[in-house]
Structure 1
Amino acid sequence: MQVVKYVFQPHGDERGQLVALEEFRDIPFKIKRVYYMYDTKQGVTRGFHAHKSLEQILICIHGGCKVLLDNGYEKKVVPLEKPYEGLYVSNNMWREMFDFTSDAVLMVLASEVYDENDYIRDYEEFKKNVEDTNEH
């Protein structure tokens, strides 16, 4: 499994840093939804799902966390701890976010608006979907 991370260009001086993100320039898709997680309690794992068509970029804009990516055949744990680095998560990719620092803020840029029908929340259903997709 290839892990794709985007390193965004920080702009700054003695006043601080700024990172600007533009769809199709810095982000490989049209951004239709942005959300973020914070105040995640110690020991909590989030995610536990995949998407049928949605693509995402995960950016830990403050603090840090880890992301387990699972394509149905291989699993990788990816640390996110730089506010100028984004992790690309494709469709048909199971994800679990964990090991959040107490100050972590995880922002997600999504290619589609929220649609419950796009979620795969059962791991066995996810595995079957991966097998069915790869047979065609």
Structure 2
Amino acid sequence: MKSPYIINFQHTGSAEFGYLDIAEVGKTIPFEVKRMFWTHSVPNGIVRGNHAHKATEQILIAIEGRIIVTTEMPDGQIDTFELTSSTQGIYLPPHVWHRMEYHDNAVQIVFCSGLFEEADYLREYTDYKEYYK
């Protein structure tokens, strides 16, 4: 079973003209992207997520601000990642319980391997633990 990991994106540009960060399917994105969404205007310190996916892979990127991502694998391994730059993202394979805490006017974009399907979600922590027992 894969574990979450940090992905570094190609970054080019300058302070006087601006920057371009690049994510490419088959290079930095290890799956075909079928859905993208973004979160913004989240009050400081709010926690979102608190779920896992049975099949969907995701990449989370903090375009602005800071997002603290805590992940838990079915075997109980817990990791914490801090996203503070659009040049990095975190890859979340299926089966990973995750929560995101937003700070500093964070704006997040998420690339997903699948379309939205409610049946793919494990939204209750007790259901997650039971599912992967």
- TM-score of the superposition, structure 2-length normalised? 0.91
Among 50, 58, 61, the residue aligned to 2:52: 50
Contact map agreement 1:39 1:102 (CA 8 A) in 2 = no
Q: Which has the larger share of strand?
A: 2
Q: CA RMSD in A?
A: 1.4
Q: How far off its partner does 1:102 sit?
A: 3.4
What is the SS of the residue equivalent to 1:126? helix
Contact map agreement 2:53 2:120 (CA 8 A) in 1 = yes
Contact map agreement 1:62 1:81 (CA 8 A) in 2 = yes
Runs of 4+ in structure 1 deviating by more than 2 angstroms, as ranges, are none
Aligned to 1:101: 103
What is the SS of the residue equivalent to 1:23? coil
What are the ranges of 5 or more consecutive residues in structure 1 without an aligned counterpart?
132-136
Contact map agreement 2:3 2:73 (CA 8 A) in 1 = no
Q: How far off its partner does 1:75 sit?
A: 1.3
Contact map agreement 2:62 2:84 (CA 8 A) in 1 = yes
Instruction: Please give the alpha-carbon distance, in whole angstroms, between the structure 2 residues aligned to 1:2 and 1:115.
Output: 22
Cα-to-partner distance string for 1:63-107 (whole Å, 9 max, x where unaligned)? 111011011312122111011101001100001001x22321011
- TM-score of the superposition, structure 1-length normalised? 0.90
What are the ranges of 5 or more consecutive residues in structure 2 without an aligned counterpart?
none
